[in-house]
C-alpha cells in the first residue's frame, strides 16, 4: 500500500482521552428561569453537557446546559424530548431571560 501521509502518525497510549464536541439542532419547547425542555433528533445521555444559543424576543441568549432527564413527550416530528438545566451564563443572557419570561406569563 502506498503511504499518502506527509508526516507519520504516532500511536497514543490508551489512557489519553479527548472530548469530541458535536453540534445538534434542537427545538426549544419551553423555557424557565432554571432550564428548558428541548427536542432533539439524537437521544443525548443524562449528564451530557453543552451550550445552547437562542433568540428570546430578538434578544440573544446563551447558556451552558446539562441534560437532567429524558421526557416522555414526543414531538410531531418524532424528536426526543430532554429536560435540561441551565449552568453558567453571562449577564446579558440572564437579563434576556428575565425580560422574556414575564412577557409570556398568563
Would you list the domain boundaries of the chain? 27-103
CATH superfamily assigned to domain 27-103: predicted glycosyltransferase like domains (2.40.10.220)
Residue with cell 434576556: 96
Q: Are 67 and 83 in contact (CB under 8 A)?
A: yes
Helix (H, G, I), strand (E, B) or coil at 29: strand
Please give the order of strands across the beta sheet that includes 80-86: 26-31, 35-40, 80-86, 59-74, 49-56
Write out pLDDT tens, residues 60-76.
999 999 999 998 777 76
pTM recorded for the entire structure? 0.72
Write out pLDDT tens, residues 20-79.
667 888 889 999 999 999 998 888 899 999 999 999 988 999 999 999 999 877 776 778
**Beta strands per DSSP E along the chain:** 26-31, 35-40, 49-56, 59-74, 80-86
Amino acid at each position: 500500500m502506498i503511504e499518502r501521509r506527509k508526516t507519520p502518525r504516532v500511536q497514543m497510549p490508551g489512557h489519553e482521552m479527548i472530548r469530541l464536541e458535536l453540534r445538534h439542532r434542537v427545538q426549544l419547547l419551553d423555557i424557565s428561569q432554571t432550564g428548558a425542555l428541548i427536542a432533539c433528533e439524537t437521544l443525548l445521555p443524562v449528564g451530557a453537557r453543552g451550550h445552547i444559543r437562542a433568540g428570546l424576543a430578538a434578544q440573544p441568549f446563551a447558556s451552558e446546559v446539562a441534560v437532567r432527564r429524558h421526557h416522555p413527550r414526543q414531538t410531531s416530528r418524532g424528536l426526543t424530548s430532554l429536560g435540561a438545566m441551565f449552568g453558567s451564563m453571562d449577564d446579558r443572557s440572564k437579563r434576556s431571560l428575565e425580560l422574556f419570561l414575564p412577557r409570556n406569563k398568563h
